[in-house]
Amino acid sequence: MEPNADHNLIIRCRDGDEEAWRLLLARYEAYVYSLCLRIGGSREEALDLTQEALLKVLTGLNKFQPGRPFKPWLRRVTVNACLNQFRRRAPETVSLEQPVGEDIVLGDTLAGGANEPVTAAEWRDARDIIRQELNRLPFQQRLVLVMRHQEGLSYNEIAAVTGLPPGTVKTHLYRARQQLRRQLAGVYEWEE
């Protein structure tokens, strides 16, 4: 995608051009939904978060600085919409010290014990289990994990997007990884 094309659409959107908004949506709606799904967990919640984020994008386009990349700004607006939604909820308390159940076992197939090829169904099962376990993480741990490993952001970029200090980002990321390792025991062989 051409940065100039985005900027031209943004300028047209600021002038009230509905067709330009539809074109901008066509380019980025799937990205926003995907990000909301990874952060929010469920499809229903992702749809709500996507609508909220896109509304904030539309109403905030006047704050976007022309000449700057659009996607990082879009990401920040989306993450902020997700953060605001989760702050409005009752606080979620999950102990990192709680025992982890032994209910996740896919056997040697994904753990690398057998030389049998892994089927697409087994990979889908593994993906579903990982998604389920990600959803069990406390929100901020899940958020920094998604930002780091799925969005590819650095610690400082995550800190800038979320408003968390870099040290807190590192702590959340460490705890999220540790929790996932415990939760996914038996799914993959972890290399230490």
Cα separation values, 115 from 18, 70, 121, Å? 56, 46, 17
Q: Percent of the chain at pLDDT above 90?
A: 10
The CATH class that applies to domain 108-183 reads: mainly alpha
- At 102 the pLDDT is 30
- pTM to 2 decimals? 0.61
- pLDDT value at 79 more than 70: yes
Whether domain 3-88 has CATH 2.30.40.10: no
DSSP per residue over 95-154, as a string? -TTSPPPS----THHHHT-S-SPPPHHHHHHHHHHHHHHHHHS-HHHHHHHIIIIIS---
Using pLDDT thresholds of 50, 70 and 90, give the confidence band for residue 96.
very low
pLDDT tens sequence across 13-29: 888 889 989 998 899 99
pLDDT tens sequence across 141-180: 888 888 888 788 889 888 888 888 989 999 999 898 888 8
Domains of the chain by residue range: 3-88, 108-183
